Copies of this chain bind each other. A is one copy, B any other.
């Protein structure tokens, strides 16, 4: 069985081979090559290949195009998200709309998405219907997550239940991680039960992962974050931490929290919100919540451990969770 690092190399080689074709020189396709070739962690294709390998017990060369489809989808959604969020930087480089303009970024994104469907099924014609059904659910779910993410800032903090932010995180990120695994399992011909387990497994990891992100934004080491700690607090982002604080706060704390949302001195705002978080035990509660997702992932992992090529998945996810990969 190949390790995650070996699969990453296999996948990067596949990308290089695919992009050697002159097809990608056309002006509709250059932006696709640009974004896909930016160095990325390739979590989704690696998860897909690991899952295929787990299910079949075979080296997953046959699933490389399906893995590329999932990576293309991820990149397509980044291209359109960066336009919507007006984000000029992606993976440390100018985002696609900065390089090629908004119109070409919209259109090349559309073409990238269009290409994924045939790419997904071409080496698994016998699974075409299941794959298209699964992939449609995934891609629509990701769009729903992005819509929620765009709409959440317009709502009053006290009106947003934690469940809504969790569902937003699930759709915006976890659905595609779970989807990479469910698609890998379908490619490998797994039973519905195994496919469902992998999907839930990936989603649990994905939600845990995103929650950890929000936790680290407040409590992480600035050096590791690569950005200033506390940016979510400054932006009044409706993270689980903030929503939980609003849920648990007494009248006095509620008043202080509401006042802090309007605070214009960033350092004072971060310090003030963190003080209330500490009073309310928010860091512990958040870590506990993250733990429930990772425990769920762990337990699903055990249920899948009988599969012929299962070995490396757990460790990879553990590494993902610790951000060391």
Tell me the A residues contacting B by CB distance below 8 Å. 26-28, 80, 83-84, 103-104, 106-111, 113-115, 117-118, 121, 125, 128-129, 132-133, 135-136, 139-140, 143-144, 146-147, 150-151
Chain B residues with CB under 8 Å of A133's CB are: 118
- The residue from B106, B129, B143 contacting A28, defined by CB atoms under 8 A apart: B143
**In angstroms, how far is the closest chain B Cβ from the Cβ of A113?**
6
| Cβ-neighbour of A104 out of B111, B113, B150 (below 8 A) | B150
Tell me the minimal C-beta distance from A80 to chain B in angstroms: 6
A151 surroundings in chain B (CB, below 8 A): 27
Contact assessment for A140 and B121 in the assembled complex, using a CB-CB cutoff below 8 Å: no
B-side contacts of A115, CB under 8 Å: 136, 140
Shortest Cβ gap from A296 to chain B (Å): 27
Point out the residues of chain B lying under 8 angstroms from A107, CB to CB.
Answer: 80, 84, 143, 146-147, 150
Sample (8) of A-B pairs whose CB atoms are under 8 Å apart: A26-B144, A28-B143, A28-B147, A83-B106, A84-B106, A107-B143, A107-B146, A117-B136
Secondary structure class of chain A's binding surface, majority of residues: helix
Within the complex, what minimum Cβ distance (angstroms) separates A28 from chain B?
4
Instruction: Establish whether residues B132 and A106, one from each chain, have CB atoms under 8 Å apart when the complex forms.
Output: no
The minimal Cβ–Cβ distance linking A120 to chain B, given in whole angstroms, is 8
CB distance from A114 to the nearest CB of B (A): 4
Is B143 touching A80 in the complex (CB atoms < 8 A)? no
> B128, B146, B147: which contacts A132 (Cβ < 8 A)?
B128
Q: Which residues of the partner chain B approach A103 to less than 8 Å between Cβ atoms?
A: 83-84, 150
Q: Is the pair B143, A114 in contact by a Cβ cutoff of 8 Å?
A: yes
Is A110 a contact partner of B111 (Cβ separation < 8 A)?
Answer: no
What is the bound-complex CA distance between A113 and B133, given in angstroms? 14
Q: Nearest Cβ in chain B — how far from A137, in angstroms?
A: 8
Contacts of A117 in B (CB 8 A): 117, 132, 135-136
A106 and B106 contacting across the interface, CB-CB below 8 Å: yes
Q: In angstroms, how far is the closest chain B Cβ from the Cβ of A153?
A: 12
Among all A-B residue pairs, the 5 with the closest Cβ atoms: A118-B136, A111-B143, A114-B139, A128-B128, A84-B103
